[in-house]
Amino acid sequence: MSANTHSNDVPEDQELFPISVVSEATGVPAVTLRAWERRYGFLNPHRTETGRRLYSVEHIGLIRRVLGLLDSGVSVGRVEAILRGEGQGTTAVGETAWERYRANMAEAIQSFDERRLDGIYNEALAYYSIELVTRELIIPILGQLGDTWNNKTTGIAEEHFFSLYIRNKLGSRWHHGEPPASGRRVLACCLPGDLHEYGLMLFALSARSRGLDLTLLGANMPLESLPEVVTRIRAAAVVLSSTVEPGWQVIERDIRSLVSGMSVPVFVGGAGVAQKSAALEAVGAVPVGSQLSAGVEAIFSYLAEHKARPSRGDSGH
């Protein structure tokens, strides 16, 4: 089926789904699905005689493809042309462009030049999505700084400088954004001993864009305090962020104890636990890896399938 296929006849030999089911399965709000149909024309569901929208498995695949394009930095206005095969390859950012951004940002950090750093960051955001800038610029720079810090005595001040800068930028985006009107309530924090909040903030911004309603508790959080908070806010899940590798006791003692006392899933992700999946599964946690978009999608899909707890909207808050 092409991007613009439209039919008012409901086929009898296909499994079809209403817009509410498709919205929950893909994470795309129903209002957005309708806008993609009316305004941009690249998603046209089947219609019943009464005008009710019904989506096929093929439609759902198309929606996921659109999400992938948007996540890579393609504007919504360009999606139809790309789906039709027009302009393929013209929207991707060349490797040299990202290399230039990284090199300029690294120079600004080395000279502790916040004004220049701000200009580079704002220029990137003017052209590309926050998800793409995060993946291609922020995370690689943080990785470079971490490698420098681990391999020699220099680089500690630079890492602190940039971490504080990006934490403030992400915090500003978080506090000026609107939380979902309804959605699964999720409690999120950093593991004990992890003082770096930027990983948590990057996750929070991405998760909010997928419709999750997050309560953040920040860095270095004692896990024994979480069950009471989960009960009070009726959270559907707990997400633990790990930028640095935790000690064995954090997993074997703290996370194990938390999971055993919880009736909701405990997800753990981040660079610090990238190689700890087996250990996390052994204590009952759900590892979601270190890739931001994939981790958010895994959490969203898990909650959609398991419906661990009622949403915030169902609790009357």
- Residue ranges of the chain that CATH labels 3.40.50.280: 180-315
pLDDT in tens, the chain (317 residues): 344 444 455 566 668 889 988 888 888 888 888 888 888 888 889 888 888 899 988 888 888 878 877 766 667 777 777 776 533 333 344 457 788 889 999 999 999 999 999 888 888 876 676 767 887 888 888 878 866 655 555 578 888 899 889 888 888 878 877 777 667 899 999 999 988 888 888 888 888 877 888 999 999 999 999 999 999 999 999 999 998 888 889 999 999 999 999 999 999 998 888 888 899 999 999 998 887 777 888 888 888 877 644 433 344 33
Note the pLDDT of residue 9: 58
Task: Let me know if domain 95-174 sits in CATH 1.10.1240.10.
Answer: yes
Q: What is the pLDDT of residue 27?
A: 82
Q: List strand residue ranges (DSSP E) for 135-182, in order.
A: none
pLDDT at position 73, please? 66
Burial class (CB within 10 angstroms; exposed 0-12, middle 13-18, buried 19+) of 77: exposed
Could you tell me where in the chain the CATH 1.10.1660.10 domains are found?
Answer: 17-83
From-to residues of CATH 1.10.1240.10 in the chain: 95-174
Does an H or E element contain 241, and which? strand 237-241
Query: According to the model, what pLDDT value does residue 3 have?
Result: 44
- Select from 3.90.550.10, 1.10.1660.10, 3.30.590.10, 3.90.700.10 the CATH code of 17-83: 1.10.1660.10
CATH 3.90.470.10 fits 180-315, yes or no: no
Residues sharing a CB contact under 8 Å with residue 134, sequence separation 6 or more, in sequence order = 202, 206, 292
